[in-house]
Amino acid sequence: MKKTCLLLMTLIIFTNFTYAQTKEEKKQLKEKLAQEEFESTKKLIDSKMYVFDATWLTTQNGRRINIMGNINQIEVKNDSTKASLQYFGVVTVSRFSSEGGVKFDDKIEDYKVKYNDKKRKIIISYTAKNKAEKYDVAITVFKNGSAFVDLYSTYRNNITYEGTIEPIIIKNKRNK
């Protein structure tokens, strides 16, 4: 009986030890994959050839709205930016010629990128203009490409968009 108990205890201890090793290996593998994903996202941001696709927006009063069915994008292409986003919020100064939503197609001004390797996130900020407004854009990108955009305008209340950052796919003339 003693031998059986001793054998059973040894087996339990050995099983727990090997399980702990595999658990540690899984943790290391997960960490390695997360780091690779973050490095890939950093390369995409460094290329300055990416698009932010918004799926949700949050107004200043905390109302969250699903905008998946429509095209809501901010494109960064080298030194220029283009945006077409829905806007639900307060317009503080109305212009006769102002369009609905947020739209701009302009050169990027004051483009800055900050990398936080410890938290695996990237913070991008820049300024863009259209005929009537100036926009300050702050993009927070996470390791997997998910992102938040905080948009500040000279004539509107700020708004936050949630979505993903993806590479711009350049079509070859032969593929048209």
Domain spans, the chain: 41-170
Average pLDDT over residues 13-25: 65
33-82 pLDDT, tens per residue? Answer: 889 999 999 999 999 999 999 999 998 888 899 998 888 999 999 999 99
Nearest-5° angle of CA 10, CA 11, CA 14?
A: 85
Q: Are 54 and 148 in contact (CB under 8 A)?
A: no
Say if residues 54 and 85 touch (Cβ distance below 8 Å). yes
Condensed to tens digits (0 to 9), the pLDDT of residues 74-106 reads 999 999 999 999 888 777 766 544 567 889 999
Q: What is the mean pLDDT of the chain?
A: 84
Secondary structure E strands in the chain: 49-58, 64-66, 73-77, 80-85, 102-107, 109-116, 121-129, 134-142, 146-153, 159-167
Specify the CATH number of the domain 41-170: 2.40.128.410
Q: Are strands 49-58 and 64-66 parallel, antiparallel or unpaired?
A: antiparallel
The answer to whether 81 touches 106, Cβ cutoff 8 Å, is: yes
% of the chain beyond a pLDDT of 90: 53
Scanning the structure block, which residue is given the tokens 């259209």?
Answer: 130
Q: What's the CA angle centered on 81, arms 80 and 87, to 5 degrees?
A: 160
Cα–Cα dist 102/86, whole Å = 6
Tokens 């936080």, residue located: 116
pLDDT of amino acid 5: 59
Give pLDDT, residue 38.
92
